[in-house]
Chain A
Amino acid sequence: MASKKPDKEMIHIHVMGKTYEVPAGLTIMDAMEYAGYRFTRGAGCRSGFCGACSTVYRHEGDYRLQFALACQETAQDGMYLVQLPFTPAPRAEYDIEKINPKENVLLQYYPEIARCVSCNTCTKACPQDIQVMDYIQAALRGDIAKTAELSFDCIQCGLCSMRCPADIKHYHMAQMARRIYGRYMSPVPQHLEDRLQEIAEGKFDAELDRLVSMSRKELEEAYAARVREEAPAESEKSE
């Protein structure tokens, strides 16, 4: 007879007024699913990248509201949970090719950034630990490069904009800043330009045509006989 396994440690979570017992160590999302909830919205990649599962919670006895991605934060005993549906936020329409990337372009498309009073609520809400207020302030003074740099890790979960008392749409504005930076300000990699030029001039057309016209057998032989990069010497291998 196999001995009975010790009980897995269980915790209590509160979801919309009801208390559930769930195993310790689950993410908020898994814990809620364990409790019987099914996510049709507010769930995506489950890996912390897509920004779909922004969530708010509170610890018992703490007045502060906390913010996280439900697929990343571990559920803890006594948490009050609720999953947020998608909240719509207006996004400016523009043609990146026709924009004039001067200092006040962000203010022009997102004039509400001028309502920022530096309360920093956006930064506190960010599950990516981005200095959100600082990039809004950089945008306000026309520093597009800094806005793009500071907001680089944004996954567009929208918690900043849900919390902002000035109704700023931080993440959409920052995306515009990064697009402008990419289109007009970041240095152009010359090797990429050169290669694109070679492709346009047909440098690789003959080679591609040859590959396309080969039989499966010929392709297999060519693959087996390909020139391989030399394996790095033992001493150069990373540990």
Chain B
Amino acid sequence: MKELEKLTYFPGCTLKDTARDFEISGMAVMEALGYVLEELERWNCCGTVFSLTDDDLMHQVAPVRDLLRAQEAGSEEIITLCSMCYGTLKRTSHFVNGNQERLDKLNAFMDKEIDYEGKVSVHHLLEVLRDRIGWEKIEERMTNPLEGLNVAPFYGCTLLRPQEIAIDDTDAPSVLQDLTTALWATPVDYPYAVECCGAYQVVDHREVIVERTHRILSAARRAGADVVIASCPLCHHNLRDTQKELIRTIPDYEEMPIIYFTQLMALAYGVEAGKIPTSLKAKIKHLQTVKGEG
């Protein structure tokens, strides 16, 4: 058997806790593609929210330490699955890499560590899929094509904003649609694919998220979507959690399954996908039966 190619992997806290399905399915599909996501031996929370202050380097210490861990592991890059971690780590790498003054200050503060040299780059798994593996190979590996399944991509913010860290066109991205097409499913076009889910407003202003979820999921439903795919655990949580409120309060509201893009791949690959909503499983089974009869 061919040896798996190693990718230096930064999971982030949420993938070890509430977003386990994201990691489980991500690991499984990458193994199917000949890669192993090798978790950093030591890592800390990325900091979650990138600090916008220019002169307060204290809040860059956490993400810089993670870049340093990759350097210690002999890697020049970090791969993330979580979009939030991607955003924070990538913006941090832009903020400090090549800026000697900031590096010196941070390294002086982080004594008892080796110096971070400012050479580690940050990539999201979607970039690896698109740029290194390619849609052709991703299609080739598929065992259970998802023909007839209508998929609404939900990008959220941190993959695309701000522009200097975007993995795709900020306004009209296509990576999730291209992935969907490679799996023989149909991407649906709807107006809220790059909308913000409301993020941490969920803590203090839950009603904002409920309203947004309603708008986003209803539009996806009207466009004919059977499922929404996400790449951010916070978007996933907000959409899924507040949808429960919509189901409870709106008569005849039909639940929209929300899964991670790696879970969609896992379904098409016939590998471990984590928990998949029953309605989606039934839909895929139905589609595959119809196809078998046709």
A residues with CB within 8 A of B: 103-104, 116-120, 123-124, 131, 133-134, 137, 140-143
Selected A-B contacts with CB under 8 Å, 28 pairs: A103-B16, A103-B17, A103-B18, A104-B17, A116-B44, A116-B62, A117-B47, A117-B58, A117-B59, A117-B61, A118-B45, A118-B47, A118-B61, A118-B65, A120-B61, A120-B112, A124-B112, A133-B44, A134-B42, A137-B43, A137-B44, A137-B45, A140-B13, A141-B12, A141-B13, A141-B16, A141-B17, A142-B16
A117 and B62 form a contact (CB under 8 A): yes
A134 and B58 form a contact (CB under 8 A): no
Q: In the complex, what residue of chain A is closest to B58 when comparing beta carbons? A: A117
Q: How far is the CA of A133 from the CA of B112 in the complex (A)?
A: 13
Q: Which of B43, B59, B113 has the most chain A CB within a 10 Å cutoff?
A: B43
Q: In the complex, what residue of chain A is closest to B46 when comparing beta carbons? A: A118
- What's the nearest-Cβ distance from chain A to residue B106, in Å? 11
A142 and B45 form a contact (CB under 8 A): no
Q: How far is the CA of A142 from the CA of B45 in the complex (A)?
A: 12
Q: How far is the CA of A78 from the CA of B61 in the complex (A)?
A: 33
Judged by a CB distance under 8 angstroms, whether B110 is at the interface is yes
- What's the nearest-Cβ distance from chain B to residue A108, in Å? 12
Q: How far is the CA of A140 from the CA of B12 in the complex (A)?
A: 10
Complex contacts, B58 vs chain A, CB 8 Å: 117, 119
Complex contacts, B109 vs chain A, CB 8 Å: 119
Complex contacts, B12 vs chain A, CB 8 Å: 141
- What's the nearest-Cβ distance from chain A to residue B277, in Å? 22
How many interface residues does B have (CB within 8 Å)? 20
Q: How far is the CA of A124 from the CA of B110 in the complex (A)?
A: 10
- What's the nearest-Cβ distance from chain A to residue B67, in Å? 12
Complex contacts, A133 vs chain B, CB 8 Å: 44
Q: How far is the CA of A123 from the CA of B112 in the complex (A)?
A: 10
Q: How far is the CA of A116 from the CA of B46 in the complex (A)?
A: 11
Q: How far is the CA of A119 from the CA of B47 in the complex (A)?
A: 11
B13 and A119 form a contact (CB under 8 A): no
Q: Which of A117, A133, A140 has the most chain B CB within a 10 Å cutoff?
A: A117
- What's the nearest-Cβ distance from chain A to residue B241, in Å? 15
- What's the nearest-Cβ distance from chain A to residue B199, in Å? 17
Complex contacts, A117 vs chain B, CB 8 Å: 47, 58-59, 61-62
B45 and A140 form a contact (CB under 8 A): yes
Q: How far is the CA of A103 from the CA of B113 in the complex (A)?
A: 30
Q: How far is the CA of A120 from the CA of B61 in the complex (A)?
A: 9
Given A140-B13, A143-B16, check contact A116 B61 (CB 8 Å): no
Q: How far is the CA of A117 from the CA of B46 in the complex (A)?
A: 9
Our pick among B17, B42, B43, B44 for the contact of A142 (Cβ within 8 Å) is B17
Given A134-B44, A140-B45, check contact A119 B16 (CB 8 Å): no
Complex contacts, A143 vs chain B, CB 8 Å: 16
Complex contacts, B45 vs chain A, CB 8 Å: 116, 118, 137, 140-141
B17 and A118 form a contact (CB under 8 A): no
Q: In the complex, what residue of chain B is closest to A133 when comparing beta carbons? A: B44
Q: In the complex, what residue of chain A is closest to B13 when comparing beta carbons? A: A141
Q: In the complex, what residue of chain A is closest to B44 when comparing beta carbons? A: A137
Q: How far is the CA of A120 from the CA of B110 in the complex (A)?
A: 8
Q: How far is the CA of A116 from the CA of B44 in the complex (A)?
A: 10
Q: How far is the CA of A117 from the CA of B45 in the complex (A)?
A: 8
Additional 9 contacts, C-beta under 8 A, given A137-B45, A141-B12: A117-B47, A118-B61, A119-B109, A123-B112, A131-B42, A134-B44, A140-B13, A142-B13, A143-B16
Complex contacts, A142 vs chain B, CB 8 Å: 13, 16-17
Complex contacts, B59 vs chain A, CB 8 Å: 117
Complex contacts, A103 vs chain B, CB 8 Å: 16-18
Q: In the complex, what residue of chain B is closest to A165 when comparing beta carbons? A: B58
Complex contacts, B44 vs chain A, CB 8 Å: 116, 118, 133-134, 137
Given A140-B13, A141-B17, A142-B17, check contact A119 B61 (CB 8 Å): yes
The 3 closest A-B pairs by CB, nearest first: A118-B62, A141-B13, A137-B44
Q: How far is the CA of A119 from the CA of B60 in the complex (A)?
A: 10
- What's the nearest-Cβ distance from chain B to residue A227, in Å? 50
Q: In the complex, what residue of chain A is closest to B15 when comparing beta carbons? A: A141
Q: In the complex, what residue of chain A is closest to B113 when comparing beta carbons? A: A120
- What's the nearest-Cβ distance from chain B to residue A147, in Å? 12
